[in-house]
């Protein structure tokens, strides 16, 4: 770990809108759709994008509205990778605050192991 070097540009280049398909489902959950149903609609959106040979975030609001009338113009906010990461704030989550807490916990544990 001490020699680990992170190449941020390579990591960012590897991001794909398809990685946010679950976020699309969570968007619908926040609109009151049960997760099981929202997951199915998100899967249909992935299929629609593949059928049109476009990235998931290139589906139009009209395309998404055909799958659920609950998609509004604010659905475009789903396609933000940073927001996606930050929404998971539970212990073990990906939000910066959660990762920092995990690192602090690990540092405390390591101190106890060396004393």
Q: For residue range 54-94, what is the model confidence (pLDDT) as tens digits?
A: 999 999 999 999 999 999 999 999 999 999 999 888 888 88
Backbone angles phi, psi at 106, to 5 degrees: -65, -40
Mean pLDDT value across the chain: 94
**What is the average per-residue pLDDT within 33-51?**
97
Neighbour count for residue 66 (Cβ, 10 Å): 14
As a three-state string, the secondary structure of 19-77 is HHHHHHHHHHHHCCCCHHHHHHHHHHHHHHHHHHCCCHHHCCHHHHHHHCCCCCHHHHH
Per-residue model confidence (pLDDT) at position 27:
96
pLDDT per residue as tens digits for the range 11-25: 999 999 999 999 999
What is d(CA 30, CA 38) in angstroms, rounded to the nearest whole number?
10
- Lookup: tokens for 84: 């996606």
**pLDDT tier at 1, thresholds 50, 70, 90:** confident
């Amino acid at each position: 770990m001490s020699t680990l070097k992170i190449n941020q540009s390579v990591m960012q280049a590897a991001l794909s809108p398809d990685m946010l398909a679950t976020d699309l489902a969570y968007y619908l959950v926040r609109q009151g759709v049960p997760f099981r149903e929202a997951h199915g609609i998100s899967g249909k959106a992935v299929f629609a994008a593949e059928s049109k040979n476009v990235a998931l975030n290139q589906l139009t609001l009209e395309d998404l509205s055909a799958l659920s009338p609950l998609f509004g113009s604010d659905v475009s906010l789903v396609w933000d990778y940073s927001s996606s990461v930050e929404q998971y704030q539970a212990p073990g989550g990906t939000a910066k605050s959660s990762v920092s807490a995990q690192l602090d916990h690990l540092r405390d544990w390591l101190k106890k192991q060396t004393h």
